[in-house]
Amino acid sequence: MNILVVGRGGREHSIVMKLAEDNMVTRIYVAPGNGGIAEQATCVPIDEMDVEGLVNFAKRNAIDLTIVGPEDPLNAGIANRFQEEGLKIFAPTREAALLEGSKSFAKAFMKKYEIPTADANTFTNAEEAKQYIDSKGAPIVVKADGLVAGKGVIVAETKDQAYQAVDEMLVAKHFAEAGTTIVIEEFLAGNEFTLMAFVHEKNVFPMIPARDHKRVFDNDEGPNTGGMGAYAPVADVSNEHLIFAKEEILQKAVEGLMKEGQPFMGILYAGLIMTEEGPKVIEFNTRFGDPETQVVLPLLKNDLAQVLVDVMDGHNPQLKWEEGCSVGVVVASEGYPDAYRKGVRIPEISSVDDAFTIHGGTKSEGGSLVSNGGRVLLVGAKDDSLEKAADTVYEALALIDDMKGFFYRRDIGRN
């Protein structure tokens, strides 16, 4: 098979690394890719949002299957265009991807199909939003309705913080069009975890659960990011809870989409929180998570290409998983998730047995790798325990000579 992967981050590099192990894969192209991906696949200079350019490339290069990593091209309708041209693509249509593309749509959808989630209301007027906050109190959660790379969620500890979030989104237009509608929802207490699944219409094949750490600093402090690290599986999530999450959340969601006339094919990601009443949905994504993919795929025993072909053909891929654990820690640019410099030389990651490095925001410049994003690298490891895997990751990170311009959390897999 000739495979095209769309995207440029760590999630796409992880997908490429997994595909590269597969004997049925002849050639891997990535559009546009990054500096690390270029060492394992053929990168092509086509932007993720250039849907027509990607369609034409797939036609010219006899692409047998396209896999889409990021959310923006999904919501731009890349799957719709590929399907119109008779090209195979493992991705949801624009209409099905709205489950991630609009938080207000997702909330209404979950209410309609009785999927457990936090109570919420939608607003376009700042004063009405603040009156609602007054009536509910704090802590409370304020979310931009649209796509803002995982940064449009404010967990407000006080009403003043919630008012500020409302003003930033609805008045100052901090998130532009994505924040012209906001969702305000109740704060749910509990441990968060992610459950991703391969989906084709009513068929749902869950992966192992992962835990992503969104906060920028140790002990889950500071603003939300796209994710500072992750580990899998999650010991405090029981098999009973996983069955509940599959049947009452993932299955209800895909069957609801079928009833809406928008059957889903691709990866359905449920960001969940364990409450006293059981798992509830914080958010749905309609693609592989980042950085969860980087710790989940290394534990998958199956060939990824075969899994995707089986799922698309309506067959059970019979997923098999390694017994151990996987931990990944993100190396980020100083200043992230706010303003940060690009073009900083990437530090050398020393070779440590059982550790691996995945590139996120990197590019090749003048023969060297430099930073090209907020989340630059992920250093990961597998072992038979979470503690051992985390120790290996931090051993590799400790050997980095020059971390000037970068930082990482020191508690991933350890709290």
CATH number for the domain including 135? 3.30.1490.20
Residue 77 lies in a domain: yes
**Domains contained in the chain, number:** 4
Residue pair 382/367 in contact by the 8 Å Cβ criterion: no
Are 173 and 230 within one domain?
Answer: no
Taken in order 88, 300, 411, 165, the sign of the CA dihedral is positive
Give SS3 for 378.
strand
Are 149 and 238 within one domain?
Answer: no
Looking at 237-374, which runs of residues are DSSP E strands?
A: 265-275, 278-285, 325-333, 355-359, 362-365, 368-371
| CA–CA–CA angle 144, 150, 156 (5° rounding) | 55
- What are the tens digits of pLDDT across the range 155-196? 899 999 999 999 989 888 888 877 789 999 999 999 999 999
pLDDT at 162: 93
What are the residues facing 217 on neighbouring strands?
Answer: 221
Residue 413 lies in a domain: no
pLDDT at 377: 96
pLDDT at 348: 81
Residue 103 lies in a domain: no
pLDDT at 407: 96
Are 298 and 355 within one domain?
Answer: no
CATH number for the domain spanning 301: value is: 3.30.470.20
Closest of 349, 334, 343 to residue 372, by C-alpha: 343
Are 216 and 292 within one domain?
Answer: yes
Residue pair 145/181 in contact by the 8 Å Cβ criterion: yes
- What are the tens digits of pLDDT across the range 213-244? 999 999 999 988 989 999 999 999 999 999 99
What are the residues facing 29 on neighbouring strands?
Answer: 4, 42
Q: Which of 263, 279, 312 is the last residue of a domain?
A: 312
Q: Which amino acid is residue 274, in one-letter code? A: M
User: In sequence order, what DSSP letters do the residues of 11-73 get, joined into one string?
Assistant: HHHHHHHHHTT-TT--EEEEEE--TTGGGTSEE----TT-HHHHHHHHHHTT-SEEEE-SHHH
Are 28 and 81 within one domain?
Answer: yes
Are 201 and 288 within one domain?
Answer: yes
Are 229 and 253 within one domain?
Answer: yes
Residue pair 359/10 in contact by the 8 Å Cβ criterion: yes
Q: Which residues contact 315 (CB under 8 A, 6 or more apart)?
A: none
Distance CA 122, CA 142 (A): 10
Residue 243 lies in a domain: yes
Cα 303 to Cα 18, 22, 273: the distances in Å are 8, 6, 30
Q: Which of 312, 344, 373 is the last residue of a domain?
A: 312
Domain that holds residue 266: 191-312
Distance CA 249, CA 232 (A): 20
Are 400 and 360 within one domain?
Answer: yes
CATH number for the domain spanning 44: value is: 3.40.50.20
Residue 137 lies in a domain: yes
pLDDT at 129: 92
Distance CA 83, CA 77 (A): 10
Positions of the chain with pLDDT under 50: none
Distance CA 122, CA 143 (A): 10
Q: Which residues contact 261 (CB under 8 A, 6 or more apart)?
A: none
How far does Cα 15 stand from its chain's mean position?
A: 12
Are 255 and 308 within one domain?
Answer: yes
Are 260 and 334 within one domain?
Answer: no
Q: Which parts of 32-147 fold into alpha helices (H)?
A: 51-60, 71-75, 78-84, 94-101, 103-112, 126-136
Residue 105 lies in a domain: no
Distance CA 414, CA 198 (A): 29
Query: What residue has token string 């500071």?
Result: 222
Residue 106 lies in a domain: no
Q: Which of 312, 343, 368 is the last residue of a domain?
A: 312
- What are the tens digits of pLDDT across the range 270-283? 999 999 999 999 99
Structure tokens at 377: 């690298």
What are the residues facing 155 on neighbouring strands?
Answer: 141
Looking only at the bridges linking them, the beta strands covering 27-32 and 2-7 are parallel
Are 217 and 301 within one domain?
Answer: yes
Are 226 and 302 within one domain?
Answer: yes
Residue 299 lies in a domain: yes
pTM (predicted TM-score): 0.93
